Amino acid sequence: MFHSLSAMPADPILGLLTQYRADSHTNKVDLGVGVYKDPSGHTPILACVKIAEKQRFETEDTKVYIGPTGSAPFNKLMTELAFGQSHPALLADRIRTVSTPGGTGALRVAADFIKRCNPNAVLWVSDPTWANHTGLFEAAGISVKTYPYYDYDSKTLKFDQMMAKLATIGKDDVVLLHACCHNPSGMDLTPAQWDQVVELTAKQGFTPLIDMAYQGFGDGVDEDAYGVRQMAAAVENMILCSSCSKNFGLYRERIGACTLVGKDSVQANVAYSVLLYVVRCIYSMPPAHGAAIVETILGNDTLKQQWLDELKVMRDRINGNRTMLVEQLKANGVERDFSFIANQKGMFSFLGISPQQVERLKQEHSIYMVGSSRISIAGISEANVDYLAKSIAKVL
């Protein structure tokens, strides 16, 4: 059975991590792995999560399955977090949510659901997009194509070209949009641009699939959900995939959500039944622990405020790292304009240097990033930013 197999190429980010760990350089810098890190380079457990976990351990009295839908309180609270408590689609009973194993699980559930809606649907993703988007949807048998998004030369959004391409996409296809903190470019749509995308989506009739992996990491929990809320109010059908990995720091708990918006409650119920069948065929039941932590936090006013405060600390640190790097590059005599880094949002940016320069940073200075020059902003700190800036200056 296995004789016909050929080895798959190694994941470039995981490969970088292996090289980084084996590097003995005292000033080595990891800008590859996309996880939040505090100033010491550690990915901490949030204090509110610790409190919620303690409550969970003290009150949990069974390990029985929680069912394909997952936790009802989690689903309700995640829906309200994404859409707001008084969104028209929520009040009209048009929204259905299931718990999933992380944001990736939500995307795979969405992929199989789309395949059942229309086996010939094409999924359109931004150029560039998260590295796993294409493989994940292709694994579900869906054809994936790209629309213009990021201009590597000008470090800006190709908005006019993006809109021109979306205007050619018909009602049988699906367009994947990043809610905020675009991965990997850091280049987000403005509210005014979102309004134009929403209007075009309603006109063309294609189904929007919004991936919201970083709610709260851009400008704020409500601000980052602007496009999600505007879209759900304007279209008949929509899919939302969300993750608790980053904003709750629950990376290894693997908890997320897949949400459908139907034309009305009747259609939403039918779609929901298909979604649950998809879940049953992939993993049967979602994990419970992460959902219990999130619902404990969101369901308690004190803990929710503590979470919002801790989330702001993470958000401010990332935004501060962006500004700090730009200023340090200037301080080290770099004349090239890197101000775009400070204007972007979320965990990632492209430095805009060549693969050869990326390799020099690794070989000569032990600074690790993927070949596209995408960097994880959270890997920058006050302790390493001067060394990082000096090293970049040397390879330019």
Q: Looking at the annotation, which residues are catalytic?
A: 130, 211, 246
Q: Which residues is 350 bridged to in the sheet?
A: 374
Q: Which two tokens stand for residue 386?
A: 């001067």
Report helix, strand or coil for 212. strand
Nearest Cα to Cα of residue 215 among 353, 21, 86, 345: 345
Q: Tell me, what DSSP letter sits at residue 45?
A: P
Long-range contacts of the stretch 161-168 (C-beta < 8 A, 24+): 162/126, 163/196, 163/197, 163/200, 165/124, 166/124, 166/197, 166/200, 166/201, 166/204, 166/206, 167/200, 167/204
Q: Tell me, what DSSP letter sits at residue 142?
A: -
Complete DSSP assignment for 61-128? -------TT--HHHHHHHHHHHH-TT-HHHHTT-EEEEEESHHHHHHHHHHHHHHHH-TTPEEEEEES
Q: How far apart are CA 215 and CA 102, in angstroms?
A: 14
- Angle at Cα 262 formed by Cα 259 and Cα 264, nearest 5°? 135
Report helix, strand or coil for 199. helix
Q: Which helix (H) or strand (E) holds 163?
A: helix 159-166
